[in-house]
Structure 1
Amino acid sequence: MFFNFTEFIFNPFVLIFASIFLGMLFGKLKIKSFSFGGSGVLFAGLFIGYFVLKYAHSFTESSEKYLSAQALITKGVIDNLLFNTFLVLFVTAIGLLASNSIKKVVKKYGFQFVILGFLITFVGAATSYVLTESLPQKDIFKVSGTYSGAMTSSPSLAAALETVQSTTTKDAKNFSSLPDTEKQMILDVVNSGSEEVLTIENTVDLTQEQQDSYVQKASADVGIGHSISFPIGSLVVIIAMSFLHKIFRIDIEKEKEEFARIMSDGTPVNETDNKSSKGVLFDVTGFAFAAFVGLIIGSIEIPLGSLGSFSLGTTGGALMGGLLLGSMGKIGFINFRMDDKVLQVLRTLCLEIFLAIVGLRYGYGVVESITGSGLTFVVVGLITAFVAVMAGFLVGRYVMKMNWILLSGAICGGMTNTTGMGTLLDVLDSDDAATGYGATFPFAMIGMVLFTIILHQFTA
């Protein structure tokens, strides 16, 4: 009898379910009245992900386990396909759950959600810019990635990469005509990790190899900045959704009652109508079709002229697919109005798997960044996310006088943060906040793409 320990702990399903099990146990621990609940899975994933990757890095080329370790390192512990699969399932379930009330919420508060979506993303970009300008040594490419990571937005990372690749390619080709300050910035990037030291004096123009190196290193820096700050931004939103209502003494039960009055407009809910609105227990065809339509919506690119293009991506598309088809209720024999309890179980299961994967994928990078040279960008990401969240909260709560159930969802939507939304639903013990999330998310996505491009242009 032989037990292969290395292959066992490198198994993605072992890592995922170990993270969920340990995370749920951790989430049940209470400090006074506070506990992390389901979001404890994220922390367990971060912990396990760090040690598993550290173990994988310990194998030398002569080891028989080297190839397995390299495969784990290359795919980032858990394959991206699993990550996206459970993300789509989770967000589609949220869309279908929120579809009952989205029309009424948008009709009544639509403009406020637009404002919050752009306000939160703008404040985040402005904070990133101010912090970058205050640094003794600017790293403009990592900053673009740090902003998209702190706001937990993958589409804005794509916008940052596209913008950086375009501008760096152009600057590298026109190196000889650039001012000395820009030349030095380019040479600093090219020289990083290279034995050859280029200076303004000994470099009239860049070779094709040096041009390619500049573009690749600049793009890599964007990815590094995003990877460092993404989990930090997620943690900020998770903690905010767990603590804000306690710090500002918001009575959740009263807010729920107020939300119910907003939804009913003072008219009593007829039990028969309510029962019929649930539709079927669960429709696999309807759920799959909602996810499929959502992926189509997310892949549509809208041109924005010189600023590039915009798309909702996987998350935004799946959310819109669930909201749109869920609000329709039924198409022929296909039902989109399903029992809330079944959707909640599916939503919870997919969320915990998703949180585990996020933690496993980013655990090593987070610890290495906090203990290494990436600490500066950890701080930038932390402050950026915190200021953006607080701006949305203060304006929404004290200027717009919004109900907390709607506002908390809108803040998660403005931060384009799925993990924070999952924590919020757990804290509220209700799916009502998903309406605010769904109404704000599209405008925040547009803001993220626009401000990412503008931020890079300003810092460059």
Structure 2
Amino acid sequence: MFDWLHTLLLPAETPTVAQSMITIMLAIGSGVFFGRLKMGKISFGVSAVMFTGLLLGHLGYRINYEILDFIRDFGLILFVYGIGLQVGPSFFSSFKNEGLKFNLLAVSTVLFGGVIAVILHKTTGLSIENMVGIMSGSVTNTPGLGAAKNTLAELSVKFPDKTFADPTIGYAITYPLGVFGIIFTIILSKTFLKVRPDEEMRMFRKSKINREEPLIHKKMRVNNSEYIGKTINKIQKEIGIDIIISRLKHSGSESVFSPTLDTIIQDRDVLMIVGTEANADQFIQKLGRPSTDLFIESDSELQVKNLFVTQTSAVHKKLSELDLYNTYDLKVTRVFRAGKEIIPRPSLELFYGDKIRIIGSREAISEAEKIIGNQEKKLIEPDFLSLFAGLLLGIIVGSFPLAFPGLPIPIKLGFAAGPLIVALLISRYGGISFIHSYINNGATYFMKDFGICLFFAAVGIHAGEHFYENFIEYNGWLWMLYGSAITFIPLIVMVIVGRFFMKINFLQLVGMMSGSYTDPAALSFSTNYLDNDVPIQSYAQVYPLVTIFRIFTASLLILIFG
């Protein structure tokens, strides 16, 4: 009576599409469940899907070969595209501060690991395909494995008589080593360096003074005769302090208005200014003193409202082009983008999903909404046209052949680097035509985690098919020894150079260690182990460039030595 259920749920050597779907759901569902369990402060998160996939593959579960490649590659594309959109804004802005130093150390670590892999390939005689698999697993780099498999597929077409090893085997054997190796190195480095997280946090906060400060508003009264009778524009040029004057009230009057750059400052004027705390205090000190005037905040004629940029007529327009002040007597006091507050300069270009804070009359704000959009519901609903157009562009970029002298086939960015680079550029420049960078946080996390779950499930089940036999046949313990060299040596050198020569804060260094090995499990552990979120910031700063270099390293090693 229930034979159909047994057929659907039990392993099959040649599964149907329905049986394949059941296998994938079993791998992902059980993996997510076990990934939430904690061993001390360690949890694997979605990385556990890889291990449950290995177990199911070992037990005989299979995925139909006609859909296996699609599920693996589509999952990888979703994952890297989501990562690119998520970290793009902070990735580019970080280069203005310590990002260049961080990425230099992280990329050097990647290249050092590649050098060790080449040395092991030459000294052990192990095929480069297997060595690249060992390298990708020992640094927990999924996109690198994807790039290696894509390159091998291209080589198989070019050289049909040549047989290539499957790098997934080495990846599966050394992946657990990579996860635990980074965590073990974090614990050991904290112990040997005698790091105190509270002291490191204090030093980190001290180093961040006057850097990426939030915007605030303060009230002041003008009493410096040097600036009385001058326009706001002239005063700002003379002082050179980056602030916005959002409201102004003349002494003895209860009328409050939003001034233009041509407004003349009078004696005892009360101003509402917006800027960083340091800039606001400096501006107040130059022009007068702090004020406790309440009328400037309570004027019933002026309203303050946040508007979301959702209308195409406002997207990619500069504030000077919209000219909200002259058109509607409105003043933009702040722009919120990707979790950051931005001073609204006339040259600032608005992106889809930006939130702008404006001040003016109720009627004027209503008119401005028609241009800006302010359709918050529209931001909650996924824009599939923009999303899939971006994914399509990423696949096209990843498939573009780049010919290099001496290589047997043109190198391609592949399904890992292509979508990642496109997502980074889209998030940096706000979009390309109708393709925009805004996806709400929930959708981004879903796309990223769903994609990596699909990839891990496909890779794990396929690798688990002959995992035990391969471990015995290829002397898995010896492969793990090779992998440990690629895991630990670059990490130890990174800690020494980063801590003693580059003087990097340990909390940031831990994030860089996790980011250089693209390991979310190690990142999750470090935030719990050190009890703060600082590692997440440096992880995001190095992750994109590290991923691109790991993809290129894996592909080039196979092309050069394969």
Answer yes or no: same fold by TM over 0.5.
Answer: yes
Paired letter, 2:37:
L
Q: Give the deviation of 1:324 after TM superposition.
A: 0.9
* Cα pair 1:237 1:412 within 8 Å, conserved: no
Q: In structure 2, do the counterparts of structure 1 residues 327 and 38 end up closer, same or farther at CA, with 3 Å as the change threshold? A: same
SS at match of 2:60: helix
* Cα pair 1:120 1:414 within 8 Å, conserved: yes
Q: Aligned equivalents of 2:558 and 2:39: distance in 1?
A: 39
The equivalent residue for 1:20 is 28
Q: In structure 2, do the counterparts of structure 1 residues 287 and 398 end up closer, same or farther at CA, with 3 Å as the change threshold? A: farther
The equivalent residue for 1:274 is 336
Does residue 285 (structure 1) correspond to residue 385 (structure 2)? The answer is yes
**C-alpha offsets along residues 50-98 of structure 1, whole Å, 9 cap, x if unaligned?**
1125xxxxxxxxxxxxxxxxxx47729x611011112211211111111
* Cα pair 1:238 1:424 within 8 Å, conserved: no
The equivalent residue for 1:228 is 169
The equivalent residue for 2:403 is 303
The equivalent residue for 1:384 is 486
* Cα pair 1:41 1:352 within 8 Å, conserved: yes
* Cα pair 1:50 1:363 within 8 Å, conserved: yes
Q: Give the deviation of 1:319 after TM superposition.
A: 1.1
Q: In structure 2, do the counterparts of structure 1 residues 328 and 295 end up closer, same or farther at CA, with 3 Å as the change threshold? A: same
SS at match of 1:30: coil
Q: Runs of 5+ in structure 2 lacking a partner? A: 217-305, 307-333, 340-352, 355-378
Q: In structure 2, do the counterparts of structure 1 residues 451 and 345 end up closer, same or farther at CA, with 3 Å as the change threshold? A: closer
More off after superposition, 150-159 vs 7-16: 150-159
SS at match of 2:335: helix
Pairing of 1:341-356 with structure 2 (within 5 A): 341-356=442-457
Paired letter, 1:317:
G
SS at match of 1:124: helix
Q: In structure 2, do the counterparts of structure 1 residues 266 and 251 end up closer, same or farther at CA, with 3 Å as the change threshold? A: farther
Q: Runs of 5+ in structure 1 lacking a partner? A: 54-71, 170-211
Q: Aligned equivalents of 1:330 and 1:371: distance in 2?
A: 50
Q: Give the deviation of 1:259 after TM superposition.
A: 9.0
Q: Give the deviation of 1:117 after TM superposition.
A: 5.8
Does residue 328 (structure 1) correspond to residue 329 (structure 2)? The answer is no
Q: Aligned equivalents of 2:102 and 2:411: distance in 1?
A: 19
Give the alignment's TM-score, normalised by structure 2.
Answer: 0.57
Q: Aligned equivalents of 1:327 and 1:320: distance in 2?
A: 11
Q: Aligned equivalents of 1:256 and 1:350: distance in 2?
A: 38
Does residue 318 (structure 1) correspond to residue 419 (structure 2)? The answer is yes
Q: Give the deviation of 1:16 after TM superposition.
A: 2.1
Q: Give the deviation of 1:437 after TM superposition.
A: 0.8
Q: Give the deviation of 1:307 after TM superposition.
A: 3.6
Paired letter, 1:248:
S
Q: Give the deviation of 1:15 after TM superposition.
A: 1.8
The equivalent residue for 1:124 is 113
* Cα pair 1:406 1:436 within 8 Å, conserved: no
Identity %: 21
Paired letter, 2:464:
G
Q: Aligned residue pairs: how many? A: 381
Q: Aligned equivalents of 1:391 and 1:326: distance in 2?
A: 33
The equivalent residue for 2:211 is 265
* Cα pair 2:117 2:132 within 8 Å, conserved: no
Q: Aligned equivalents of 1:446 and 1:424: distance in 2?
A: 23
More off after superposition, 426-435 vs 439-448: 426-435
Determine which structure has more spread, i.e. the larger CA radius of gyration: 2
The equivalent residue for 1:360 is 461
The equivalent residue for 2:94 is 105
Paired letter, 2:60:
V
* Cα pair 2:35 2:48 within 8 Å, conserved: yes
SS at match of 1:248: helix
* Cα pair 1:49 1:362 within 8 Å, conserved: yes
Q: Aligned equivalents of 1:344 and 1:290: distance in 2?
A: 17
**C-alpha offsets along residues 24-60 of structure 1, whole Å, 9 cap, x if unaligned?**
332233333333333222222211121125xxxxxxx
The equivalent residue for 1:94 is 83
Paired letter, 2:552:
I
Pairing of 1:4-83 with structure 2 (within 5 A): 4=4, 5-9=6-10, 10=15, 11-53=19-61, 72=62, 75=65, 79-83=68-72
Q: Give the deviation of 1:293 after TM superposition.
A: 1.9
Q: Aligned equivalents of 2:35 and 2:395: distance in 1?
A: 32
SS at match of 1:274: strand
The equivalent residue for 2:265 is none
The equivalent residue for 1:438 is 544
**C-alpha offsets along residues 189-211 of structure 1, whole Å, 9 cap, x if unaligned?**
xxxxxxxxxxxxxxxxxxxxxxx
The equivalent residue for 2:186 is 245
The structure where helix makes up a greater share of residues is 1
Q: Give the deviation of 1:341 after TM superposition.
A: 3.4
More off after superposition, 342-351 vs 294-303: 342-351
The equivalent residue for 2:300 is none
Q: Give the deviation of 1:18 after TM superposition.
A: 1.7
Q: Aligned equivalents of 1:124 and 1:380: distance in 2?
A: 11
